[in-house]
Structure 1
């Protein structure tokens, strides 16, 4: 049985180099540990824009890098709108200073939100532990 040839093409948008190995949605999903449906979701939201080889979507190294940034942003708690803003700035500013400034502001905002959540969580845990101790004593006494 002959091996399936690796898809390659020159992306008319300039996203791929001639001879660059392109990934199918299934290959990209397996590489990133997500489902093909997740990749299509981010495509539908305009966060990635795969090229086409005929009717098949093909993903360049650029799209793979964008997916890594999207997944990292989601893991860190950023919204899709915030992630899209970061990605859009990347294309506008070749030195990436605006993207870095926006990212810094977003990171600082996220840190503050998480610190507030931690305070709230600590209060809730303290209250729950007090209830646990009180009810535990009452159950023990009988």
Structure 2
């Protein structure tokens, strides 16, 4: 079975070793320890898969507790109705959250556009007045 060092996983997934240790602290990864005093972490293919799923969950905007629940679910039999319904519930909640964030962003962008338009109009008015006023210098 292949094993990985923290540096190898960090490089593969383009994250820091600190991030990997953070996920370990939250129970998402559980490497074994080797070397003098057990200081070297050794990650298995299971840990690599869990890290991959964790990063995917983060990209979807899930919390670490939601990710842990889903990753733990991933490792148990996948054909239970309760698990599938739970997963659908998590996905529906996340979709709702993202759609609300999208609506909020669209509203903020519309407000920014309105302020930009007003600022440009005011700037044009000032420039127009300056052009009409003779230079007395």
TM over 0.5: yes
**Are positions 1:123 and 2:107 aligned together?**
yes
SS in 2 for 1:59: strand
Asked if structure 1 preserves the Cα contact closer than 8 Å seen for 2:2 and 2:44, the reply is: yes
Structure 2 distance, partners of 1:123, 1:76, is: 22
Gaps of 5+ in 2: 127-137
Cα-to-partner distance string for 1:38-64 (whole Å, 9 max, x where unaligned): 111111111110122342211110000
Gaps of 5+ in 1: 1-19
Q: Between Structure 1 and Structure 2, which shows a larger proportion of helix residues?
A: 2
Task: State the structure with more CA Rg.
Answer: 2
The total of aligned residue pairs comes to: 122
Aligned-pair CA distance for 1:29: 1.2
Structure 1 distance, partners of 2:20, 2:49, is: 13
SS in 2 for 1:58: strand
When residues 96 and 33 of structure 1 are mapped into structure 2, their CA distance, relative to the original with a 3 A threshold, is: farther
TM-score, with length taken from structure 1: 0.78
Matches within 5 A, 1:22-33: 22-33=3-14
Asked if structure 1 preserves the Cα contact closer than 8 Å seen for 2:33 and 2:42, the reply is: yes
Structure 1 distance, partners of 2:95, 2:78, is: 25
Q: What CA RMSD, in Å, does the superposition of the two structures yield over aligned residues?
A: 1.6
Asked if structure 1 preserves the Cα contact closer than 8 Å seen for 2:78 and 2:84, the reply is: no
Structure 1 distance, partners of 2:93, 2:71, is: 18
Larger deviation: 100-109 or 37-46? 100-109
Structure 2 distance, partners of 1:103, 1:87, is: 11
SS in 1 for 2:21: helix
Asked if structure 2 preserves the Cα contact closer than 8 Å seen for 1:86 and 1:99, the reply is: no
* Corresponding residue for residue 94 of structure 1: 77
Structure 2 distance, partners of 1:52, 1:136, is: 62
